Structure 1
Amino acid sequence: MLDLRFIREHPDLVKEGIRKKREFDALPLVDELLELDRRRRELLAEIETLRAQQKKLAKAVGQAKARGEDAGPLLEKSSELAEYLRGLEAEEKQLSARIQAILPQIPNLPHPSVPEGESEADNVVVKEWGEKPIFDFEPKPHWELAERLGVVDFERGAKVSGSGFPFFLGRGARLVRALENFFLDFHTARGFVEVRPPLLVREPAAFGTGQIPDKEGMMYEVSGGYYLIPTSEVPVTNLHAGEILEADRLPLKYTAYTPNFRVEAGSYGKDVRGLNRLHQFDKVEMVVFSHPDESYDWLERLTRQAEELLERLGLPYRRLLMCTADMGFTQAKKYDLEVWSAGQQKWLEVSSISNMEDYQARRMKTRFREPGGKPRLVHTLNGSGLAFPRVLAALMENYQTPEGDFTLPEALAPYLN
């Protein structure tokens, strides 16, 4: 969430950021918020004055009784004041509730370095690595290879759970396990603490990272007031919710492997074929709690860390700097990494790396304190390191052989016996 004081002091800047993100529904909320805040502060000042009068009246009543005087008129006035004060307090409570309901609906503001754009077409390619494979035969898409080799079974998965829930079999299952271990080993060797988080979270955790209110439609809600996690960012970023960390502990670096669950409502067509878009998929996540002065350095470091994995796998990739309209509600700045898919002849997203600044930390009340200083909000970052399905698709397609099989990069050899 944005700071209410910041919105009050910089309304034009906030509105401009909302326009750049194309979150136009939030624009009238800013004016409503400012009016509610003005009235609430006016009420609070009046309430404070009346409470002081109430104390004086109570003192006068006591003095009148001590002198044996009739305190009736004073008591009547005190009763009228108390009733009026209760009305003001009730109004202030309603205003506060509405303010707290509006604040989460105001998106994070884009960093000045983020290019303004209208759609994904305005994302900027800032880096490209590797050479696209050239074949002396017509390369096949991964779903054809998977079906022929029996490593992924889409049809039986759909029979059991519906489309978007494939079975990985034999070599396919072992490859998933190899990627999990390879990715986790890579991150833990760089000082990241491995976490096995819960796969179910309650609403406050989803609110803390910004899934609610914004992405309710992409999460599976289950009985008992739980949500299946759409990404391990949700439980891991909430790991320090409500805590005050010591500054010398920062940055805190975590990595987690989980299956993830997304409804992906409205997904259809060629872009969801095979492993391109699943309702259940595996991913290794990176989460960093950073000092505010270092968060943009960590954005670059996390991005580079994900890129190194792709380089070790020998997968050609490109880095995109996401424009204001395609970066998401909670992000201040975001990179996407896309790998080349030889069988589909297109780029596939395999990682998003984002700096949320203090937007999530304010929701979760995650702060830090430097010696002798007051608590301040941390900055939170997260990034995929990496998401499995499209990495698997690219591995099968880019390393395919004329016989309809595929080889694998040397980096995975230790994990595949």
Structure 2
Amino acid sequence: MYRLYRLSTRLLEKILSRKYPERFSPPGEDGVEVWMHAASVGESRVAAAILEETLRLRPGLRVLLTLQTRSGLEQARKLLKSLPGIRIRLAPWDGPGTIGAWLRKLSPRVLVLIETELWPNLLFEALSHGTPVLILNGRLSSRSFSRYRRLRPLFAPLLARVSMAGVISEEDRERFLALGIPPERVRILGNAKHDLSFRRVEDLDPVPLVRRLGLRPGERLLVFGSMRRGEEEAVSRIISGLISVPDLRFAVVPRHPERAPEFEKHLTARGLAVSFFRNNHQLAGARIIVVDEIGPLFTLYALAEAAVVGGSFQPLGGQNPLEPAILGKPVLFGPHMENFPLESRILLSGGGARQVNSVEEALSVLFDWLHHPDKAREQGWKAFQCARKLRGASRRYAELLLRFL
């Protein structure tokens, strides 16, 4: 199966290289010790957390970080601008000629793939050049695993030769084993993304957002974070059920800002007044704010009385429940948290989160927290204690990486 993939990508190389020359031209860099490859914005955060720890342990290391998307490239440059020795650029096309040229030019001592950036020619060429291949912060959602399992004949012979895979959870370990990585080469090391969230707390300044929202003493904020397509009705029903609570305000943050008008439409259909966040600096008194830009969610969590985590009220796998937990907030999510099994399990077992199966259950939990704030604060404290247990993964990944240098 790999031969067919190799042949097709070689043919496409000739066609696409004229249209996207930057993806096919050899890198300007000569000789790096680490070539790290990640996908987009989320993975760039993971890469940044691991690289910060790696360079703390081994200053002066020469690293090239490649990203698949321009948004990921911009995010990585922001996160790593203070670290010397790291060069960042767009990833090459996964063609055998292109990848071979990159490897000959770079001569990396190790290739690091972040999460699920498994590209057949990149794997094959690196292994053929004798370059150790590591998978760090490895994760396979149920959806990704189904896709890769169908392609097992393509990936299994390559993954069997990977030097080591550090993965997030037991579920991820079982899935990587099923794709062909030998058991002795898979280790559960946690999620490096959480370390970056802890560092963000140190730099957090909520005052500008408090002023923009016009939050007054005694007002409370309920935050719906990273809400996804199909969750508009659940959000509007919950807010409609809580709108009578005095001094309670609501911030709805869609995972994708372009979905903001859909949330606004469902809320106004219930007779609720909505204000958009973007370009609006007169939000004092606005009961319901729909956030139509990227960026404010973490600070909103810091100001929240409680957090409702999206992607969990539809079969979408859930969003990260640890961000509000790190900030000491009680966390509520729906029945679908398949993409965060370890985090949700630890929060639930430690009493830091509640999982509900319906809007009615969600309203019951939220009413309880709002009418018994001491209970909400206690659950938030437990959430923080649970989150602390998941720190330190980026250092473990850095130590694993340095073993191969």
**Higher strand proportion:** 1
TM-score, length-scaled by structure 2: 0.22
TM-score, length-scaled by structure 1: 0.22
Larger radius of gyration: 1
Bigger relative contact order, structure 1 or 2 (CA pairs below 8 A, ≥6 apart): 1
